[in-house]
Structure 1
Amino acid sequence: MLSTPVGERRLDILEWLKEPARHFPPQRHADLVEDGVPAAVIAAKLGVRRQVADTHLALLADIGLLRAKRIRRRVYYRRDEMRIAEVARMFEKGW
C-alpha cells in the first residue's frame, strides 16, 4: 500500500535530509551531505527509540528514497535525489 511509505515521520526524515547541515549537528567521522546522517541521530530528532527509526529508515531505503552507507559501526542515511525525482515524475504522470 502506497500510504505506508509516506507517513508523517518518514516525510519529516526526507525533509530534514534535504538540508542535513541545517537540521543535524556535524559528525566526527562523516560529512552530513556526502555521507549522510547516522540512524541514532535521526532517532533522537524524531524522539523515538532507535529500533523505531531503523524501521522507518529501512523502508525508505528499500524503496530507494534513501541511500545507506556504513562508516565504522554506524549506518548513515542520505536522500537519493535521482530516485526521488523519478518517483515525483511518476506521480505527475498520474501513476
Structure 2
Amino acid sequence: MFSEAELLAVFRALSNPARRQMLVWLKEPMSFPGQKPDDVSIGVCVSDIQARTGLGQSTTSQYLAMLRQAGLVVATRRGKWTYYRRDEANIARLLDTLRDVF
C-alpha cells in the first residue's frame, strides 16, 4: 500500500500532461524508432523520449526524474546513456492502493 507521501508524489508527477504522456508512451517501448527487442528490458533511451516530446533535454530529464521519484519508472544507466521503463509492479501496487482508498 502506498503511503500518503508516496501518493502525493505520484499525483504531483501525474499532474503534468507531458509526464502523463511519457508514461503512456513507455507502455509501448517498441513504438520508439530504432528500438530493438533486446532493449525493451532496459527501457527507452532518454534521447528518444526527448525527441518524441519536442521538449528540451533538460526538461525531459527533469520530468523523467520526477516520474522515477514517484516510483512510476525505473532508470538504467548504460555508459553515458540513461534508459527508462515503466515500473509495472509499482504501478500495480498504486492501482491496488487507489482501489482500497477510493
TM-score bracket, normalised by the shorter chain, equals: 0.7 to 0.9
Tell me the SS of whatever aligns to 1:93. Answer: helix
Q: Distance in 2 between matches of 1:19 and 1:41?
A: 13
Matched, 1:90 2:97: yes
Which consecutive unaligned segments of at least 5 residues does structure 2 have?
A: 1-7
From the two aligned structures, give the one with the greater helix fraction.
Answer: 2
Q: TM-score with structure 2 length normalisation?
A: 0.81
Look up the SS of the partner of 1:26 in the other structure.
coil
Following the alignment from structure 2 to structure 1, what is the Cα–Cα distance between the partners of residues 61 and 12? Answer: 15
Give every structure 1 segment of 4 or more consecutive aligned residues whose post-TM-superposition deviation is greater than 4 Å: none
Q: Report % sequence identity.
A: 35
**Equivalent residue, structure 1, for 2:4:** none
Task: Give the letter aligned to residue 26 of structure 1.
Answer: G
Aligned: 1:4 with 2:3: no
Q: TM-score, normalised by structure 1?
A: 0.87
Match of 1:62 in 2: 69
Structure possessing the higher relative contact order (Cα contacts under 8 Å, 6 or more residues apart): 2
Q: 1:13 and 2:22 equivalent?
A: yes
Shift of 1:27: 4.3
Let me know the Cα RMSD of the aligned residues: 1.7
Measured against aligned partners, the alpha-carbon deviations of 1:9-49 in whole angstroms (never above 9, x if no partner) come to 11111111111102x01247x61x11111111111111100
Partners of 2:74 and 2:87 within 8 A in 1: yes
Unaligned runs of 5+ in 1: none
Number of residue pairs matched by the alignment: 92
